[in-house]
Amino acid sequence: MDTIGDTDWILRAVGSGVPGALAVFAVDRAGPGSAARLVLTAANAAYRGLFDAAEPVVGSPVASVLPGNDPQVHRIVAGVIDGDAFSAESWAIPAPAGTYSTGVAYCDWSIRRVDVFGTEAVVLLVTDATRRTETSLSMAEEVVRLRELA
């Protein structure tokens, strides 16, 4: 597990009991009038595994907290930096190579701003919801098919 600075306690506190990906980002405010950036300060292997080619590097600013560079994720993260919390269920993201034949994975995720030893940080938790979501979609399609037969 890669860590920088004091954020290691967050990963140790939840340990391997987290059934998904966990990452901690420091909020870097470059100066007045400029947008805040997120710098990855700690991440478990499950988080790093979400990304194919451009795996986030601990200590570097991140382009997006989730793979796919979705503009909506950028807007959500900007709100979180300002103090809003966010969570979503069955959010579609590009599937990591070799995981799902459809090329799409679904995740439940939550992101919130915290203060870590007087430093602004953002904590992200992502859990895989692909099988549950695909089952729900299949059931919905079957209901539509049965209604058409009636």
Share of the chain above pLDDT 70, in %: 71
Which pLDDT belongs to residue 111? 92
Identify which has the larger pLDDT, 122 or 99: 122
**Cα distances (angstroms) measured from residue 121 to each of 7, 19, 83, 138:** 9, 21, 11, 39
Residue-wise pLDDT for 112-137, tens only, equals 998 877 788 898 888 888 777 667 66
Cα(117)–Cα(31) distance, integer angstroms = 21
Beta strands in 17-149 (DSSP E): 21-28, 37-43, 86-94, 104-116, 119-128
On the question of pLDDT at 110 being above 60, the answer is yes
Which pLDDT belongs to residue 149? 77
Confidence of residue 45 (pLDDT cuts 50, 70, 90): confident
pTM here? 0.72
Which pLDDT belongs to residue 17? 56
Place of tokens 């979705």: 70
Confidence of residue 28 (pLDDT cuts 50, 70, 90): confident
Residue-wise pLDDT for 46-89, tens only, equals 888 888 777 788 888 888 888 888 888 889 898 998 888 898 88
Task: Kindly list the structural domains of the chain, giving each domain's residue range(s) and its CATH number in brackets, ordered by start.
Answer: 2-149 (3.30.450.20)
**What phi and psi, each to the nearest 5 degrees, are found at residue 58?**
-60, 130
The chain-wide mean pLDDT, for the chain, equals: 77
**Cα distances (angstroms) measured from residue 2 to each of 24, 66, 72, 101:** 11, 18, 28, 30
